[in-house]
Chains A and B, each alone.
Chain A
Amino acid sequence: MTRKAAHAHPEEDDALVRRLRAGDEAAFEEVVRLHAGRLLAVVRRFLPREEDARDAVQDAFLAAFRALDQFTGSARLSTWLHRIAVNAALMKLRARSRRPEEPIEELLPRFHEDGVLADTPRDWPGGADALLEKEEVRQTVRRSIDRLPEGYREVLLLRDIEELDTEETARLLGLTAGAVKVRLHRARLALRTLLAAEMETGTP
């Protein structure tokens, strides 16, 4: 969580937190209006059901308001809230009755018995920069991430989108560091398969 949008200067964060600690009703509304939309966007990646995502954002704000004493100002308020929201999303995922893990095997590359790639990969036209200029490519990538089995999607989101390191991801998910690495690689391979179907035609 290193490259988050800056909505306020640190001094403004401090002033706002002082008002929150003093129980200033208007300050609570201000902080919710300032950050709820962005946090909802973050949480939706983990929780595709809108109702779950909104619940997690609400849980995150209530947890943050209870923990105001722990806000030290060493991180930006937006970063601090972001971290709490990701935790709330993960807790929501854990709390939900877990469906059996969807298999990822059918999205992984296939090989002949001698270990040779069964499907010959084709080039994707255009570099990442040019591709990301197109809104439809962005949408395709996000939709494809949403299609990853949950146990793989959450690892990809934490490692590649939230930019947590392997150890922190392992701790949050209750996995070993080795399992996080395996899942991240498989998640990327599966995503590559999903994107290849769109990109190889040149009209994602």
Chain B
Amino acid sequence: MNCKEFVDFIMAYLNDELPAGERAEFERHISDCPPCITFLDTYRKTVDLERRAYDDVEVKRPSMAEAPETLVQAILAARRKGGGGGA
């Protein structure tokens, strides 16, 4: 397995979806290729960072999620015009 194949297989490896033979080759490559160790580490870090990049909007900082008044009024007006349900 070369670096290109290694990179192609990273997601399947992390999802534990690689067949045993390819998994063994993947692990053999990484034991012998420091750049790919770093690549795998930074790929993992990328996923960690992006998955949590919006957490603060939804959990920590509700103030960031305040609705603009113009939007609230536009939605309510559209509903009254018959765009939305309710009685």
Q: A111: which B residues are within 8 A, CB to CB? A: 2-4, 7
Given contacts A32-B75, A145-B53, whether A38 and B4 have CB atoms under 8 Å apart is no
Total interface residues on A, using CB and 8 Å? 63
Q: How far is the CA of A109 from the CA of B48 in the complex (A)?
A: 19
Q: Which of B49, B58, B68, B85 has the most CB of A within 10 A?
A: B49
| B55 CB to nearest A CB, Å | 8
Is A105 at the interface (CB under 8 A from chain B)?
no
Give Cα A36 to B67, complex, Å. Answer: 5
Q: Are B84 and A62 neighbours in the complex by a CB distance under 8 Å?
A: yes
Neighbouring B residues of A80 by C-beta, 8 Å: none
A131-B49 in contact (CB<8A): yes
Q: State which residues 53-81 of B face A: CB under 8 Å.
A: 53-59, 62, 64-68, 71-72, 74-76, 78-79
Interface centre among B42, B47, B53, B54 (most CB of A within 10 A): B53
Q: How far is the CB of A111 from chain B (nearest CB, A)?
A: 5
By a CB distance below 8 angstroms, the chain B residues around A35 are 67
Inter-subunit contact A121/B35 (CB<8 Å): yes
Residues of chain B lying within 8 A (CB to CB) of residue A45: 54
Chain A residues close to B by CB (< 8 Å): 3-5, 20-24, 28-29, 32-33, 35-38, 40-41, 45, 54, 57-58, 61-68, 109, 111, 114-117, 120-124, 127-128, 131-132, 137-138, 141-142, 145, 156, 160-161, 181, 184-185, 188-189, 191-192, 195-196, 199
User: What are 8 residue pairs bridging A and B, where the CB atoms are less than 8 Å apart in the complex?
Assistant: A33-B67, A36-B67, A109-B7, A114-B2, A117-B35, A181-B11, A191-B50, A195-B49
